[in-house]
Amino acid sequence: MSGSTATGTITRSARAPMRIAATVSREAHPTHGSFPPTPPAIGSQPMPESVAEGLRALVVDDEEVVRSVVVEVLEGMGFATGPAQSLAEARQQMAAAGYDFLVVDKNLPDGSGLSLIREFGARNLDVQIVVMSGYATLSSAVDALQAGVADYVVKPFDLADFRARLQRAVEGLKLRRANRSLLSELQTKNAILEGLATRDPLTGLDNHASFQESVRKEIARGRRHGASCALVLASVDRFRDINKSLGFSGGDALLRSLGGFLHRNCRVSDLPAYLGGGDVMARFGGDTFALLLPETDRTGAATRAETLRRMLEGAELGTGLPRITVSIGVASFPEHAQEAEALIGAAFISMEAAKQAGRNRLICWSRELSQGGRLDAAQVRHEADKLGALDRSIRERAFRAVYQPIVDLAARSELAWEALARPTDPGFGSIVDALGAAERGGQVPALGRVLREIQVAAIGQLPAEKLLFLNVHPFEFLVADGIEKEAALQPWTKRIVLELTEAAEVSNFERARDRVAALRAAGFRIAVDDLGSGYSSLNSLALLEPDFVKLDMAMVRGISQGGRAARLIKHILEYCRGEGMRAICEGIETEEELRVVQELGVPLVQGYLLAHPGPAFPRAAVARIGPAR
């Protein structure tokens, strides 16, 4: 590549070395206007105003004379310049120092200058680019412009025209950067204005109006997608007394600090519960704060709220500020309300019930709490008593374990025992009663952990080949690093089967499958409980791929050979055999039920006919099992 230049024009002759002529005749460039007979040399010509002061330019061309001319022009415009003669050298220089401007030859020894331009585009670099080419075609010009260049200069070029093109490119770069700066400033100011409209000025959380709109939007989204959401309202206990003690400025300081605490500590990742994302926190009014939890049911919201209550109970909010407690109300969509106003009203009534019940507690909404728009004092006391009994039972471990055998029909012996629990506190009539209180009080993980510790304590009495089934609530099942980290279970993971209760309630099967994989990796086996004829139940079987499948006792009750239930069980058994799962028919209470399921080929059974739940470990009445057919 080579060429020749005159003072006003750079020309290119094939394979001739580049040189700069000091003079050019007027006739040589009749279309360029009138020139003085002997123009001054390039270095002595007047340069345009230093429009590029503070900018850096890289010149990439394999011909030294062209590079020198372009560098001289750019420096005359105020650029700090750097030369490169190849793509490789250009990449090195760009990596070593930032450049604002790039003048590059299209045809270089180690590739096309357009490839360098595309690399800059992929990296989103803020560089203005001018391409030069001595072999220009329409297609190459289109390629360059599509790659985002500011200008495409054809060699030979007129120096005055070249300077003008470069100046326009510099102005374009400055304009683009100024526009970007203005846009950023506009976005910042819009955010400030939006914050003034949607944020509480004292705490920085959402304000009342913005929060109500968020609740309406989330409920509408839940209707479209069949998703749940929950609302938590928390009021500072005895805030009026705090205001009297600290003054209004001190009360404001406490609320401001509390808002910061909620903002720092109410993220999903900070709490030991699997919940949906996209939470909205707000100062609902006065000393009341609100938390909107998308894709969260009552149990998840209550667990989240109870964790928050306990955190605040021991929190230091700031120097000179008193410790506080909060009373919390929880309501969920669609279980408790169908509209935003009704959901907020339900959470507010629950919060008032928590205050009336003694403060520093959580109460979930139920229709029994309010009669005619007023709190039912008797029902509030009843709920408070239940939650008090739950706290006491967990603290004192007031449960006893009982076990029921699961029998292998072919071997006519016990394969495993299912661990069950019986509450000993008079506040509960059954474990179902205690579990309901735990769901409403946000203590499912705490209750489950205590029950498993009590139930697994006797596993050492079992023969080494026998298994122990432990029931797990769906909420606990989905908690990452939960059950597998429990110290009481870790020595026995190879012999424990985790039985997922209410599997049909699991909606996030992707998450559930991840948890199944994690629990299996820890050594546990998995069972799905109460498999029935519903779609969601059968769907859980296909997606979770458990080791054991427990058939709903409603399918077994009154079963007869040839009936619909028998045919369904037969199909489920065929599927389980094909997938390597073992089916268990529970709830066997009559010899006829045992006979039918045995004839259908059910491998494992459990029920009162063979053994009632009892202390560790009752033997099954295997004599009742008929001969194999």
By CB atoms closer than 10 A (0-12, 13-18, 19+), residue 196 is exposed
Say what the pTM is: 0.70
User: Residue 496: which pLDDT band, with cuts at 50, 70 and 90?
Assistant: very high
The predicted pLDDT at position 5 comes to 40
Asked if the model's pLDDT at residue 359 lies above 50, the reply is yes
Find the farthest-apart pair of alpha carbons in the chain and give their distance in angstroms, rounded. 125
- Residue 417's closest CA among 382, 459, 380, 376? 459
Indicate the Cα dihedral angle 467, 471, 476, 480, nearest 10°: 10
When pLDDT is averaged across residues 569-582 and rounded to a whole number, the result is 90
Q: Give me the half-sphere count of Cα atoms (radius 13 Å) on the Cβ side of residue 410.
A: 7
The two three-digit tokens of residue 415, written as one number: 């394969």
Considering the domain 4-176 in this protein, what is its CATH number? 3.40.50.2300
pLDDT, averaged across the chain = 86
**Residue carrying the six token digits 């139930």:** 455
Residues 150 and 101 sit within 8 Å (Cβ to Cβ): no
Residues 56 and 101 sit within 8 Å (Cβ to Cβ): yes
Contacts of 411 (CB under 8 A, 6+ apart): none
User: Residue 562: which pLDDT band, with cuts at 50, 70 and 90?
Assistant: low
Give the tens place of pLDDT for each residue, 317-326.
999 999 999 9
As a whole-number percent, the residues of the chain with pLDDT over 90 amount to 62
Looking at domain 208-375, its CATH architecture is 2-Layer Sandwich (3.30)
DSSP 8-class letter at 293: E
The predicted pLDDT at position 40 comes to 42
By CB atoms closer than 10 A (0-12, 13-18, 19+), residue 33 is exposed
Asked if the model's pLDDT at residue 98 lies above 70, the reply is yes
The predicted pLDDT at position 143 comes to 86
User: Residue 564: which pLDDT band, with cuts at 50, 70 and 90?
Assistant: confident
When pLDDT is averaged across residues 206-223 and rounded to a whole number, the result is 94
CATH 2.60.40.10 holds for 394-624: no
Question: Alpha-carbon distance 271 to 311, whole Å?
Answer: 10
Q: Pick 264 or 281 by higher pLDDT.
A: 281
- Residue 370's closest CA among 352, 343, 388? 352
DSSP assignment of 572-593 equals: HHHHHHHHT-EEEE----SHHH
Give the range among 1-5, 299-303, 438-442 with minimum mean pLDDT. Answer: 1-5
Using alpha carbons only, what angle is made at residue 69 by residues 68 and 74, rounded to the nearest 5 degrees? Answer: 95
When pLDDT is averaged across residues 442-460 and rounded to a whole number, the result is 97
Residues 581 and 548 sit within 8 Å (Cβ to Cβ): yes
Cis, bond preceding 617 (omega within 30 deg of 0): yes
* CA distances, 569 to each of 339, 406, 525, 538 (Å): 41, 18, 23, 12
Q: What are the extents of the domains in the chain? A: 4-176, 208-375, 394-624
Q: Pick 297 or 503 by higher pLDDT.
A: 297
DSSP 8-class letter at 267: S
When pLDDT is averaged across residues 150-179 and rounded to a whole number, the result is 91
Q: Pick 328 or 504 by higher pLDDT.
A: 328
The predicted pLDDT at position 558 comes to 62
Give the range among 193-202, 247-256, 303-312, 347-356 with minimum mean pLDDT. Answer: 193-202
Strand partners, 80: 56
